[in-house]
Amino acid sequence: MADIIREAPLGQIIRWITGNRVLKYPEEMEGFELPATYNAVLNSPTSQEKRHAPRSTPPVSRQVTQEKSRRSSDSSESATANTASDELEKAETAQPGPYEDAAALNISRTKSRLSTVPYTEDRLEVEAELAIERTQTKPVMPIKTEDGIVLVDWYTTDDPANPQNWSNRKRFVVSLIICIYTFVVYTGSAIYTSSELGVMEKFHVKPVDASLPLSLYVLAYGMGPLLWAPLSEIPIIGRSPVYAATMALFTILSLPTALVNNFAGLLVLRFLQGFFGSPCLAIGAATMQDMYSLLYLPYALVAWVSAAYCGPALGPLISGFAVTAKGWRWSLWEILWAAGPIFLVMFLLLPETSTPNILLRRAARLRKLTGDNRLKSQSEIDQKNMKPTAIVIDAIIKPMEITIKDPAIAFVNVYTAIIYGIYYSFFEVFPLVYPVYYGFSLGLIGVVFTCILIACLIGIAVYCGYLHYYLIPDIMKHGLRAQESRLVPALFACFGPTIGLFLFGWTARPDIHWIVPTIGITIYGASVFVVMQCIFVYVPLSYPQYAASLFAGNDFLRSAFACGSILFGRPLFINLGVGKGVSVLGGLSVIGIIGMFVLYAYGAKLRARSKFAVA
């Protein structure tokens, strides 16, 4: 428990106030001895060794090794080798210099996850090797660069400071905090919908104007990742400070938002709420990746995506009855009541998970302990080469460039924007259907939104079953297949959005029971969940070097279209009618059916012609 508190924002503040005399790290405690491996490397002659150790075939499962050997002999598949891996191999061809004392220790060097590109087979194999090694305590040999710098790494293969080595219980607690935090922020968007009538009466605005506090919130939490994602990747900052600072501002802003007495102020405050709540969207997946291996990361992401997916749907349920009884401000007070406790939990118990940040701070402590400035982390060296212009280009310009030049990414961005926008249009069409045709109250409309929760549970069951019974056993036996294989579940699920929308649009009338259109929404929700999971795995596997930038860009495009759909949804359904209006959206969703099969059939050719993708 002490190590969690020490790594949490509260612990770091306590350490700063007390001059690091409280909540000490092992390097700061009396009796700490520098590991023998570090003494050996520091005392050895300057090595001509390059940055990386020579590559060797990791002792992963026999099936993976045999499969990779088989594929390397197959000329047709060898053309799909990862370009990033080729660069690493070129950088690693130099043999290491002599470590006389280190050799006496009879220690072999352990490869690092950070020496591989995320979402690649190299990363998968290194993680398989490390999974075996962390079951026993083996010293990790640090690397000395050609200019004499000793790169600080984990002390042992089971080093408890490594998030990958945390116990399942600790990882579960951290994951749960991130999921609840995500749920609160996403719920904060649609929880406002129950207050729209009250806002219209209070500020004398039109229905479209009254929906602006929702649409601006959604737009803002799509813009936030463009800033917060690259900020969290700066080693000296890390993830935890970004979470804590922005959630503190989100919580503080929730108070004036609930008290504001002018419409313009409400719009500004709702935008700022969404912007400062967006780190859950920006770096939530990165936090999961810090803790879980590539093989089992999909399970963690399913939980995190479920929190984001169900949050908006359950917002109207949480606020519907309360707003009817207590007034329109009640939904905004509920955001504060939800945000306050989760902020306190994050402040007290959410540790840093970024490996570059953890090792950077460890290197600083070792320099203070030994007085030897040769001890540095790789992230410190990388950080010196970081330029603000490069960060801006990677965060904003690169996603736009890839979207324009790469047909696969263009399709992914357009399709996910459409289905996400349609999802948010439900908040405008439900009040035109269930109260008008079936006499539902404001609170009961919120109950209807629970069909999204049911849809999410169905999607989880289907996708996790696919992971457990097919995908993970197949990867363990054959390694990573071509990226298009991850789209197979989507080939079936992509029909669901169109079917569900037409079922809802043309059965939502007084002479048909309300459960029938609700089933249509459930079909839509479950199928979209599966499609999104497949797409969000396909993108990083195909574009691993640009995954973070592409996700940030996709977040913005999805949220921008959702913002627009909230504004055009009500006029669309009023002018065309519910049936025809929903049919327009259903027609747009057909793009996904065509595009998904085209991507599955021709994805490999598109990647081969793309300068951004991994063939």
Give pTM, 2 decimals: 0.85
Q: pLDDT tens across 278-318, in order?
A: 999 888 988 998 999 888 889 999 999 999 999 999 999 99
Q: Beta strand 150-151 with 143-144: parallel, antiparallel or unpaired?
A: antiparallel
Q: Is 375 helix (H, G, I), strand (E, B) or coil?
A: strand
Measured distance CA(240)–CA(6) in Å, rounded: 12
Maximal CA-CA distance, the chain: 87
Structural domain containing residue 455: 163-353+386-609
Region 34-46: what's the mean pLDDT?
A: 82
Residue 108 counted as domain residue: no
Confidence check: pLDDT of 120 > 80: no
pLDDT at 437 over 50: yes
Instruction: Specify whether the CB–CB gap between 466 and 521 falls below 8 A.
Output: no
Q: What band does 16 get if pLDDT is binned at 50, 70 and 90?
A: very high
d(C-alpha 378, C-alpha 364), whole Å: 12
d(CA 316, CA 444): 9
Residue 108's pLDDT band (boundaries 50, 70, 90)?
low
The answer to the question of residue 329 being in a domain is yes
Residue-wise pLDDT for 239-288, tens only, equals 999 999 999 999 999 999 999 999 999 999 999 999 999 999 888 988 99
Residue 139 in domain: no
- Domain count of the fold of the chain: 1
| Residue 186 resides in a domain | yes
- Distance between CA atoms of residues 555 and 425, nearest Å: 17
Number of Cβ within 10 Å of residue 362's Cβ equals 21
218 lies in some domain? yes
Closest CA to 489 of 458, 519, 452, 451: 458
User: For the segment 314-360, what is each residue's pLDDT rounded down to a tens digit?
Assistant: 999 999 888 988 999 999 999 999 999 999 999 999 999 999 999 99
Residue 524's domain is classified under what CATH number? Answer: 1.20.1250.20
Q: Are 189 and 218 in contact (CB under 8 A)?
A: yes
Average pLDDT, the chain: 84
Name the DSSP class of 387: -
How many angstroms separate the CA atoms of 119 and 378, rounded?
20
Place of tokens 């191999």: 89
Does some domain include residue 8?
A: no
Q: What percent of the chain has pLDDT over 70?
A: 86
Please indicate, yes or no, if residue 47 is contained in any of the structural domains. Answer: no
Nearest to 345 by CA among 169, 173, 187: 173
Let me know if residue 212 belongs to a domain: yes
Name the nearest CA neighbour of 223 among 261, 175, 276: 276
Q: Render pLDDT for 522-574 as a digit per residue (tens, 0 to 9).
A: 999 999 999 999 998 888 888 877 777 788 888 899 999 999 999 999 999 99
Give 457-494 pLDDT, tens digit per residue.
999 999 999 999 998 898 888 888 888 888 999 999 99
pLDDT at 443: 87
